Amino acid sequence: MMWQAFVAEFRREWITLRRYPTEFFGELVVVVVIFYGLFLGSSYMSGGGIFGARLSSVILGYTLWTLSLAAIGNMGYSISNEAQNGTLEQVFLSPVGAVRILILRNIASLIFSMLFTILVIYGIMALTGHFLPLSPIDLVPLVMAVGTAMGIGFLIASITILFKRTNQLLGLLQFVLLFIIMTPFTTFHGAWQYLGVIAPLSPMVGLLQSMLVDHQGLLTAPGHWFWWGFVNVALWLGLGIAVFSRAYARAKTRGTLGHY
């Protein structure tokens, strides 16, 4: 039943992309152009431009940020849009169950988001002329980042399912997330280093940095960030699913599941 539901969700995403490609490519152009604008702006302000490892970090941070925003936003937007359009209650009538449907939906949607992210990275690299040595193994921290982002997505979905209108919150979250991704928690020392484990996405940022900038291996990167990444995913995804399950039950009790 889960596989059939996943295929259905994947095909729905694919049909929307195929039928309305301008939405996908329009968004792609906007995301790349915004980065290029920031790049040119910061080069102008600093007088010398951004180069080398610093530029690599900024490119990585930016792409991770857009991917995480897609994972988080998918949940919140999906629920509020579907409540507004009148399909949410039908989705929740599925015997697969609300939590599993949302996970499958997000996985399906994130396959396309990964494609989007890869195009963004190559677009940015082409524009800046700064090429990172990418390999398929680099997708591992990205997939882990998506796991944590899905957990935060479930937290947003919990608020959305109860209060429906969370667009302002999602707008604010963009900046919180940007702060978290750009802060090098994994380089902190003493008791502060635990923040690197707990802060959402932080181990994955550190891991990607080690792999792409310092040319370390996935398992050989210092700080065991690969394994701490799993802890981070389990923490946020577990918390997100637990809170969403409670919020879903609460919405059913309050009778507001399909309201908008």
Partner 1 sequence: MPLLEVKGLAKRYRAKDGAIVHAVKTVSFTLEAGQILAFLGPNGAGKTTSIKMIAGLIRPDDGDVLIAGHSVGRRTRAALIHLGAVLEGSRNLYWRMTPLENCEYWGGIRGMNRKSSRLRGLELLDLCGLADKSHHTVQQLSRGMQQQVAICCALLHRPALLLLDEPTLGLDLEASDRIQALVRDLALHDQVGIVLTTHQMEIAEALSHRVAIIRKGEVILENGTEQALAAFSGNTYGVDLTEPPTVEKRALLELQGATFDSPSSFRIVLETASDVHPLLNLLRPIGVLRVQRETADLATVFRHYVETDEPSRTFAGGGAE
Residues that bind partner 1 (CB under 8 A): 1, 4-5, 7-9, 11-12, 15-16, 19-20, 85-87, 89-97, 101, 249, 252-255, 257-258
Question: Which residue is it, tokens 């991704």?
Answer: 181
Distance CA 71, CA 79 (A): 13
> What's the min distance (Å) between Cβ of 184 and partner 1?
42
> What's the min distance (Å) between Cβ of 8 and partner 1?
2
> What's the min distance (Å) between Cβ of 14 and partner 1?
10
> What's the min distance (Å) between Cβ of 127 and partner 1?
32
Nearer to partner 1, 20 or 44 (CB): 20
Nearer to partner 1, 50 or 96 (CB): 96
Nearer to partner 1, 46 or 85 (CB): 85
Question: DSSP per residue over 28-42, as a string?
Answer: HHHHHHHHHHHHHHH
CB count, 10 Å around CB of 215?
9
Distance CA 50, CA 37 (A): 13
Angle, in degrees to the nearest 10, between helices 98-128 and 2-19: 40
Distance CA 85, CA 78 (A): 10
Nearer to partner 1, 85 or 168 (CB): 85
Residues 6+ apart with CB under 8 A from 129: none
Tokens of 105: 């939906």
> What's the min distance (Å) between Cβ of 5 and partner 1?
5
Nearer to partner 1, 15 or 38 (CB): 15
> What's the min distance (Å) between Cβ of 253 and partner 1?
5
Distance CA 239, CA 33 (A): 35
Nearer to partner 1, 88 or 241 (CB): 88
Distance CA 87, CA 182 (A): 37
Q: Which of 55, 211, 79, 222 is nearest to 145 (CA)?
A: 211
> What's the min distance (Å) between Cβ of 248 and partner 1?
10
Nearer to partner 1, 19 or 215 (CB): 19
